[in-house]
Structure 1
């Protein structure tokens, strides 16, 4: 039943005061059932309205197609957590990301142990640590790809465990070594992601062209993603993470397998995004890169945060690389390989 027909029914049907108890009870029961059904439909818009067919490579055709279902919106209850009530004093904006006692265990072994982190809005935040330190596990929990064993995660004030849909709408995610729909062309992939994010086809086409231009992917949009190089794949997935203009970007090794020229381009895009009020959380093994662009960082070793703060606070009087090596406990022992020396042959 449409909203118009429900409104009409309210004006033409007498009030329950003129009905018998049984009639009023039955009518009340039907109304409750309809409300529950409508909520379920909105919770799964893809099921309620199948996606339109993927476009050809021509952007004009994509712009002409209708959208499947209404755009996704933040629930009113959750929006109140992000905005001050009308007439009230403006409250300080919530942190872009807040982790409280977050733990992830596998078979009794903690991959991440009781991590507390607060990432302020508008920050360029780095997560660094040796291989196997738990960075990818932590980022996967932030992105909602893994559920924590314990603890809470909040994205712009929205509890990720209690309201995962609302929290995920605020994020763009680039996981490391993510498998994607690589039999689609680049343009089709971005269209598919855009529709899932609730964007109109015309908006998707415009943003696809803009992102492809700055990422130097325009000539590749008509090719299937499986034919892309590792660096091009990274860039098309970054475009997919940004197409819905999220408040928070979660990027796991965004510069891995990307050439220096493309790295500078991506850095420029992310820096402009942060200057516009967005927040970036990324992991990287490049200490020079982290020191250059990050306003804050955390050093994670064996699933625990050993240092956190501004770059200057973390590195102290040493270089960031020296401080990283010190915290990670690397010994630098390269002895015992004399058999590799040419003189030993």
Structure 2
């Protein structure tokens, strides 16, 4: 007799919210395999509503795969996912309306201008043209992209592309923002402006999930954090609880392992 396949996520009920603050994102038993590789291995995780949540892990830990499944971009093999109580796979249209996504490495329609791209995303989310036009102007100004509004996205620098992608994630005023490496290739001034925007968003009731390799940035910006490796959660909670009085990077390295306490070969110390 053949083993039964993993249950269809669409048949599962939304995961229950934890006691206290409700969950903006609730994950239960999330599992994904690619061939012989298990990318996500039964993750359970709750992201409290109104939190600034950091998701950190080494390359290949399963961060991007987890976020792709959580936002409806990739179907899991098993598990339950809900955004503010809406099941991601039972009611994907309603769930996706609640979330704005900046995915690292996802191609944009780069033959549109920046202004056209943001406008397109606003219209795609069912907004009227007048509202989309006003919000697009506001976002381009906020992100210092007004002068580049008419320029094709294909001609943008990496940092400009990241900022216009953020604008597309924000234009429909989602209640949850999921950002994969949002500060990569962004100059320090723009990064500071983006941090201010995101902080204001959280202070007014939004929830942000940031996947990043920058431990110092996560430690300074986030109030909650989860450390994952090999598709599993190694630690999760408030930043202070996970740090336990240590630097977050030291805790991360201790949990994940792989650090080589070496000053290098002798030929690099002969100067």
Residue-by-residue CA offset, 1:139-163 (whole Å, 9 max, x unaligned): 1111211111110000110111111
Contiguous gaps of at least 5 residues in structure 1: 1-80, 82-91
Q: How does 1:25-174 map to 2 (within 5 A)?
A: 94-174=22-102
Q: 2: CA distance between counterparts of 1:285 and 1:309? A: 18
Structure whose alpha-carbon radius of gyration is higher = 1
Could you list the per-position Cα deviations for residues 300-340 of structure 1 after superposition, in whole angstroms to 9, with x for gaps in the alignment?
Answer: 01111000011111011311111011011022244663345
Match of 2:179? 251
TM-score normalised to structure 1 length? 0.71
> Separation in 1 of the partners of 2:216 and 2:153?
31
Partner of 1:329: 257
Relative to structure 1, the CA distance from residue 219 to residue 305 in structure 2 (aligned partners, 3 Å threshold; closer, same or farther) is: same
Using the TM superposition, give the Cα deviation of residue 271 of structure 1 relative to its aligned residue in structure 2, in angstroms.
0.5
1:175 maps to which of 103, 108, 118: 103
The structure with the largest helix share of the pair is 1
Distance in 2 (CA, whole Å) between partners of 1:309 and 1:121 is 13
Contact 2:42 2:232 in 1 (8 A): yes
User: TM-score, with normalisation over the residues of structure 2?
Assistant: 0.89
- Paired with 1:124 and 1:226, the residues of 2 have a C-alpha distance of 31
Distance 1:120 1:317 in 2: 22
Across the aligned residues of Structure 1 and Structure 2, the Cα RMSD in angstroms comes to: 1.6
CA-to-aligned-CA distance 1:198-247 (integer Å, 9 cap, x gap): 11111111001110111000000011011111000000000000000001
Between 1:330-339 and 1:245-254, the stretch displaced more is 330-339
Give the gaps of 5 or more residues in structure 2.
Answer: 1-13, 15-19
Larger RCO, structure (CA 8 Å, separation 6 or more): 2
Question: Residue by residue, what CA displacement relative to the aligned partner does 1:175-209 show, whole Å, maximum 9, x if unpaired?
Answer: 00121111111111111111111111111110011
Number of equivalences: 253
